[in-house]
Chains A and B, each alone.
Chain A
Amino acid sequence: MSENRDGLFARAEEVLSLFRRGAEFTQDLIKENERLRLQIACFEAQNMAASDDVEWEKLRHELVSRIQNLEGEKQDILDRLQQVEGENSHFAERYLEIEEENNNLASLYVASYQLHSTLDLSEVIKIVVEIVINLIGAEVFAIYVLDERTQVLTPVASEGREIADFPPCQMGHGIVGAAVATGETQCGDVAGSEDLARPLVCVPLRVQERPIGAIAIHKLLQQKAGFTPLDHELFTLLGGHAATAVFAARLYSQSERKLNTIQGFIDLLTK
């Protein structure tokens, strides 16, 4: 008896669920019908407008003027884009230039800093050698210092060849002598020469008008094709700062010697 009742309830539940689904489906159909009716009404209104010539012309005119406005706006945007692109490329070029300038200034700063970091003459000469090798990229070169008494330029440091291979030269004679005498950087044969009296380039070292020595470069490193604008800046820097550093170091060592001599005398007298 109880089993029959349970079966009856289950069947009733199934029938109810069927009715519920049917009701939902009917609701959906009503909604869809409403949507289609609205769409049809809209199309009919458009058709009415299109069939009326005046309305149609008005609509067409509005659309044409809107298109023209949009075309104008588009052209303005394209012009602006082109302008911005031009500015962008100009800024990119300027950025590269400034970056290069920044690197060059860093090289010049480091060279100058190192040159004035010591008062020891041999250290100063070593630093000049380092700068010429590492920053300029020279393979064979010599550094000459002027003996003010004899007016002879004697090599005090060299690279790539023995120091004895570089001939001393008289002030005013040859490429090295002429460079020191005139104070102007002398350029020799670009192809380079085996003759150690004929450097590729000779940079005079001067403190104001006082000649101190010279740097004679005979050969560049194989990967270095030629001199760059930075090299010329470095030549100018070396011409002044290396000369000042050499001059200051020589004065310092002379004053040290004199001080020691005076101290020796004082010690002798006071003992």
Chain B
Amino acid sequence: MARHRILIVEDSPTMRQLLAFALKRLKDVDIVEAQDGMDGLRKVSSDHFDLALIDINMPVMDGLKLISLIRGEDSLRQMPIIVITTEGAKEDRERAIALGANEYLTKPIQANKVLRIAQSLLKAE
């Protein structure tokens, strides 16, 4: 079975470590971390990923800008995206989904929920 590659784009090292910790429980995954939107863009442009977890509020380039750039690329249009953010307002969720996010999760995260959603998106891919 091929290994899945997951990208975590998050400026907080604490959250990156926590998400990586949770996602490592999935079988056959390689996790790559990016510390802001620009770093994330560089990584998705140069490598293949099966799933991306993206924070909204980040320095240099925010998560929404990154999602719109990813969805503008033909080769990345199908890559599933999970947004993980502190922004819990309905309009924030709707904006992210409209831009092309597949799932929208708010912090503080529940590791089980992240795992379940990541698993289903990787299967559906």
Contact = CB atoms under 8 A, between A and B. Distances in A.
Given A106-B22, A110-B18, A134 B108 contact: yes
A103 B86 contact: no
A155 interface: no
A135 interface: yes
Nearest to B10: A134
B12 A134 contact: yes
Contacts of A244: none
A186 interface: no
Contacts of B108: 134-137, 221, 224
B75 interface: no
Interface string B81-114: 0000010110000000000000000111111100
A113 to B, nearest CB: 7
Nearest to A127: B14
Given A103-B22, A223-B88, A223-B106, A134 B112 contact: no
B95 to A, nearest CB: 16
Interface in A165-209: none
Contacts of B12: 130, 133-134
Given A107-B18, A110-B18, A221-B106, A130 B13 contact: yes
Interface residues of B, number: 18
A158 to B, nearest CB: 15
Range, interface on chain A: 20 to 34
Interface string A209-222: 00000000000011
B17 interface: yes
A263 B18 CA distance: 41
Nearest to B18: A110
A114 interface: yes
A225 to B, nearest CB: 11
B25 to A, nearest CB: 9
A103 B111 contact: yes
Interface of B: 12-15, 17-18, 21-22, 86, 88-89, 106-112
The 6 closest A-B pairs by CB, nearest first: A223-B88, A103-B111, A137-B108, A223-B106, A130-B14, A222-B88
